[in-house]
Amino acid sequence: MLQNAWLIPVFPLIAFIILLLFGRFLKDKSSYVGIAALALSFIFSLLVLMERIGGETYGFTVNWLTTGDRTISAGYEVTALNVMMLFVVAAVSLLVHIFSREYMHEDNRIHVFYSYLALFSFSMLGLVLSPNLLQLFIFWELVGLSSFLLVGFWYFKPEAAAAAKKAFLVTRIGDVGLLIGLILLFNATGSLEYSAVFSAIEAGAATNTMLTVIAVLIFLGAVGKSAQFPLHVWLPDAMEGPTPVSALIHAATMVAAGVYLVGVMYPVFLASSTAMLIVAWVGAITAFIAATIALVNTDIKRILAYSTISQLGFMMLALGTGGYVAGLFHLMTHAFFKALLFLGAGSVIFALHHRQDIRNMGGLWNRMKITSVTFLIGTLAIAGAPPLAGFWSKEVILAAVLEGGGIVLFLIAAVTAFMTAFYMFRLFFRVFTGEFKGEHEPVENKKFMTVPLVALAVFAVVAGFVNTPFAAGLEGFLTEGLNVGEQAHGTIWLAGLSVLLAAGGFGLAWAMYYKGTVAQDFFTSKAPGVHKLLLNKYYLDEIYQAAFARPTVAAGKFLAEVDRRVIDGIVLVAARSVERSGQVIRKQHNGQLQTYGLVTIIGGLAVIALAFVLRGYFG
């Protein structure tokens, strides 16, 4: 079965080609093509996962390019990390495909939507199967492309078009760093194969400084893709895309690619303590600031987007403090419960006819039972309520941070965990409890939308059990044959603290937004400045606009002017002078035979005279 792992990304690719060619005729039947392809991918990845557990790593490569004495190969590889990612991506992708059928059925470009989704699934599955960095980079750019296409799917909305452009440009900054990092790595180690790179680094192929530079540049790619501070600004705007897209790409899979990249290149990061420190601090800062913004935001999707950024920061923080398993474990559990939350949000938005402001929601608990219950499960999972998935992964992250990162990072992580519980329950209470504030009575959505919710809710409950302190199955699976250092484990008091933080966040949200015992403006009235700062997302967009975007545009305009005036001017002077001299000389060409004759004779005489003078015939 492992030999057939390459088929997993091929199914969505076939679906993409079919939809590209015949989508117009299939119309809303397109969804079945996508669902069928992803179902096959899912079954195959499940089989591959089952065979890989307890089995061996399988790799297949062919030589692709030879430059001098260095060879670049292409192929696929089934490692422990790969199969975990394959399973997560295929599962979430399949459920999102099913969900989208109902969500998008009113859109008459649904076949385009499904072809993009299939392209994304192909790219993402290809990304995780790549055995070398060059292949990974190609798929890396492909997922970026499909993200761009899907964010801008409703391109006729100016915000969506701007958001797509922003997502593409901001991630491009990271991708340039990644590409430079890859080139340096290739230069230093002579290979882009993971295993060859790691053994070369172990053998001391690169100096310490070089390794740090390479690791930081690769991390820059991850920062762009995984929306880490300071390149996180594209992800909230990417919520302009259809909600299933947000669930699949901007919550569960593509944004996790950055974390996956750091995980795959972990030996390189481990070799440089500076790089690890940078990863940890970027993760911590990201987790903290995104959580604080989520506290005050009022758009249901943007709250979830900031929550995603915050959780991705958590993963980076874990990886940066030596928690290899912790970060990747959280990546896996987060994919399920965040996809669940986004699809739940999609279900709410769909039922409310595309309204997203939580201030105008409320009282959906009795009206949309399945959505409400599954959303509650997702909320509990992300808040870290035992024994749901988020509890287990958050606990090992806290343990890893405490052990490898020191007290400051641990405090940041703990405060962020508290805020996570608070803003998620704030969202939950605002949307599902209280008075309903609309004209149209919302009803529960059809099966195509509720079944994925239930499936993801099941995952959100059980996904954590693969790696508990009592049976650390995932840890043994992921670290087998890898040298990633000693992994930290949770303790009882840490678990207690984790539950306490979640409960505290829940309690505060409950008191403020359900019971009303604490006034909702209790904090905002005390610190209006902070509230304003958070509402405006630390003014980062404005700062970037002023610091980078406007100077760039101004420089562009200036250079355009230079081009128009100076460069074009020089060209024009050259052209005009030729033209002018032509005008002058043309006058001499007057058709007068006798003038021509005279000129010819004088010229001939001049040549003869010259020859005589030069050759000395007179002497």
Partner 1 sequence: MVPVTFFLALGAVLFCIGLYGVLTRRHLVVVLVCIELMLNSVNINLVAFSSIGPFANITGQVFSLFIFTVAAAEAAVGLAILIALYRNRESIDVIKQDIMRW
Interface residues with partner 1 (CB under 8 A) are 586, 589-594, 597-598, 601
| Crossing angle between the packed helical segments 158-189 and 133-151, to the nearest 10 degrees | 180
Of residues 593 and 614, the one with the C-beta less far from partner 1: 593
Of residues 354 and 586, the one with the C-beta less far from partner 1: 586
| Residue 593 CB, nearest approach to partner 1 (Å) | 6
CB crowding 183-207: b at 16 or more within 10 Å, else e: ebbbebbebbbbebbbebbeeebbe
Give the C-alpha separation, 573 to 433, whole Å.
74
3-state secondary structure string across 533-553: HHHCHHHHHHHHHHHHHHHHH
Give the C-alpha separation, 458 to 321, whole Å.
30
Of residues 571 and 578, the one with the C-beta less far from partner 1: 578
From 385, 371, 485, select the one nearest 428 (Cα to Cα). 371
Residue 185 is given by DSSP the state: H
| Residue 597 CB, nearest approach to partner 1 (Å) | 5
Of residues 471 and 598, the one with the C-beta less far from partner 1: 598
Of residues 526 and 586, the one with the C-beta less far from partner 1: 586
| Residue 576 CB, nearest approach to partner 1 (Å) | 20
| Residue 598 CB, nearest approach to partner 1 (Å) | 5
SS3 193: strand
| Residue 592 CB, nearest approach to partner 1 (Å) | 6
> Is residue 74 within a helix (H) or strand (E), and if so which, with residue range?
strand 70-78
Give yes or no for a cis peptide into 230 (omega within 30° of 0): yes
Are the CB atoms for 41 and 33 separated by under 8 Å? no
Of residues 539 and 617, the one with the C-beta less far from partner 1: 617
Provide the token pair at 502. Answer: 């979640």
> Is residue 383 within a helix (H) or strand (E), and if so which, with residue range?
helix 369-383
| Residue 595 CB, nearest approach to partner 1 (Å) | 9
| Residue 610 CB, nearest approach to partner 1 (Å) | 20
SS3 296: helix
Contacts of 9 (CB under 8 A, 6+ apart): 41, 121, 122, 123, 125, 126, 129
| Residue 588 CB, nearest approach to partner 1 (Å) | 10
Question: Which neighbouring-strand residues pair with 132?
Answer: 193
| Residue 575 CB, nearest approach to partner 1 (Å) | 20
Residue 67 is given by DSSP the state: E
